[in-house]
Amino acid sequence: MWSEVLFSSIAGIAGGLLFVHFKWPWVWKDLSYIIQMIKSLKKFEYCVRNQMMIADVFDDQAAKFPNKPMIVFEGKEYTWSYVNEQSNKVARLAEEEWGLKCGDTVAIMIYNEPEFIWTFIGLLKIGVGVALLNHNLRAKSLVMCFTRSEAKILVIGKGDELLKAAQDVLPDLKNNGVSIFVQGQTQETLQDGFKSFDDLMSRTSNAAIPKSRRSGLKWNSPVCYIYTSGTTGLPKPAVLGQYRFLRGSFILPVAGFSHDDRVYTALPLYHSSACIIGLGGVITEGATMLLKKKFSASHFWEDCREQHATYFLYIGEICRYLLSRPRHPDDAKHSIRCAVGNGLRADIWKEFQERFQIPKINEFYACTEGNVGFFNLFNKVGAVGRLSPILHVFQKAYLVKFDIEKEEVIRDENGLCIPVGPDAPGLLIGEISKRQIFEGYKGKEEQTKKKILHDVFKKGDAYFNSGDLLYYDPEYYLYFSDRVGDTFRWKGENVSTTEVSNVLADVEGIEDACTYGVPVPGHDGQAGMSVITLQGTGRVSSGLLKVLYTHCTELLPSYARPLFLRIQPELVLTSTFKQVKGEFKKQGFDPDAVPHPLYFLDATKKTYVPLTGELYRDIISDKIRI
């Protein structure tokens, strides 16, 4: 009798499982994903329950692994104990010499080097938020980003270029009462207006910092500010609070990263990938970071082999650069188990993985300031994660219909947003709640308000607007489609179209400017292109083209300079006077498709030159490197 009952039960369960398998085959992927997430996030929940913030986790790991290398940089190892002592010095000088306390802000502009890490950690030990300035910023862009941090102290890293950048804006900073401290220099070598960071470090104690020094921290207290245009306007400091920073630090562990692993990164530490995912992952696991000052395609695999890297962080451009290198017998000779990153295009994914024999590629999607994120744990080519009915229980994220021309969500007759179906691009939005926090930007509240959609699925609700279009397939795998709004991505950096247009409009003879991104075959992201209208006769001269080139190279980082210019009599505006870019984007930079003069940024001639059909073909065939 019991055997019959047991047999019937097993048969029933098996039948049910078979039904689920054929009716909803994607369920098994979701269950596998959930199990992997739960296993990896136990430590995160432990930290939250015990009020352990990122500085507390660092202190614990430094005590646990004192003699283990935390950083390997340019052939030298820096142990957890050494980094801890250096960060203690930073914390003490910030308190004793600068008079800082929990809740204050310091801005740093430092290259990828160990000093960045212990300066960052040291400030966190006393609860000071850190504004991470892009070390490519110059002139007005640098002043603007620093000012938006509301910091009164700026730390400049080692290097003549960084010091020169600070010297160029010294009058503006001093007028605002800013103190500037320089690493790698003694006071005797510095001009008036600058102070030696190293001199202070040399006379400061490395004694441990009591946890009480940061007792005022809450889970929404800022760890750092990372600059993003957020798809709307000029670069703004996005707030990364203690909770979100710690949660992001567990992305690598979700991908199987542990204390025995060594992660190689050449991505800049002022970006969330290297800082939160990379450095944060190393801290949470007590692992080792193999830090590279700047990406080099020719040395990448050599570095990974020599330093025994087991993981590396990427953006899509890095993978494309590595693939463009000549094949080598040692291409697959390495100890890499997993690559984690974003932006790896489907057209090169399989080739990249097979040529370099990388067992796992875990692509993710996240916005620096966003409240939703996705992780592809299944090696699914091109996917950034999953968005299924089951996973909605854990994360309230949706794709809704979006009007690309008007750059606004499409609403139904009741004024509510409309979800999209499979294979249809939709705007990614995330419900704002206690569990899905949107911390916004430091400073003016209206910048944060612009990123919030109201009355989405019911009156009174609120959702974060990612500014990105994604789509999902019938198996609920999620794919990136396009970016909307006032930014585009080039060379791994976000470019503010507003900032570029403002720089162009400052040139004498320019009436107005409209900037957007255009795809270039064989390149990830979009290259900058600007439509400009001229004052007076509307004729462009060789002198004006040279002035535009000089103006852009002096005031904009290399990745933000428009590669293409389009001259025409007037811009097209909406009824609310917003620039219409849709048709410009469609026509791109093809001289045969554009009925107006086009120009190309020629770095060798140091001017913009006419974009001819021949030049266009050389660009799209990669004969001319851009």
Q: Which residue has the tokens 């990122």?
A: 54
Residue 444: pLDDT band (50, 70, 90) is confident
Q: Is the pLDDT of residue 356 over 60?
A: yes
What is the rounded average pLDDT of the residues 362-390? 94
Q: Which two tokens stand for residue 398?
A: 């949706």
Which distant-in-sequence residues (6+ apart) come within 8 Å of 547 by Cβ? Answer: 507, 508, 509
Closest CA to 198 of 219, 183, 178: 183
Q: Which two tokens stand for residue 116?
A: 């960045």
Closest CA to 601 of 539, 522, 520: 520
- Residue 284 CA: distances (Å) to CA of 54, 267, 279, 580: 8, 19, 9, 46
Q: Please, are residues 126 and 91 in contact by the beta-carbon 8 Å criterion?
A: yes
Give the full edge-to-edge strand order of the sheet including 179-182.
195-196, 179-182, 153-156, 105-109, 129-132, 222-228, 236-241
Closest CA to 114 of 106, 122, 102: 122
CATH 2.30.38.10 fits 383-483, yes or no: yes
CATH code at 60-240: 3.40.50.12780
Phi then psi for 28, rounded to 5 degrees?
-65, -35
**CATH fold for the domain made of 487-620:** GMP Synthetase; Chain A, domain 3 (3.30.300)
CATH 3.30.479.30 fits 249-369, yes or no: no
> How far is 391 from 476, CA to CA, in rounded Å?
10
Closest CA to 230 of 38, 456, 465: 465
Q: What are the domain boundaries of the chain? A: 2-44, 60-240, 249-369, 383-483, 487-620
What is the rounded average pLDDT of the residues 97-102? 97
Of 70-84, 361-375, 524-538, 557-571, least confident by mean pLDDT is: 524-538
Check for a shared fold between 60-240 and 249-369: yes
Question: Around Cβ 174, how many Cβ atoms within 10 Å?
Answer: 13
- Structure confidence at residue 231 (pLDDT): 57
What is the rounded average pLDDT of the residues 585-596? 93
Residues 490-528 pLDDT 10s: 998 889 898 899 899 889 999 889 999 999 998 999 999
Residues 447-500 pLDDT 10s: 899 999 999 999 999 999 999 999 999 999 999 998 887 888 899 888 989 889
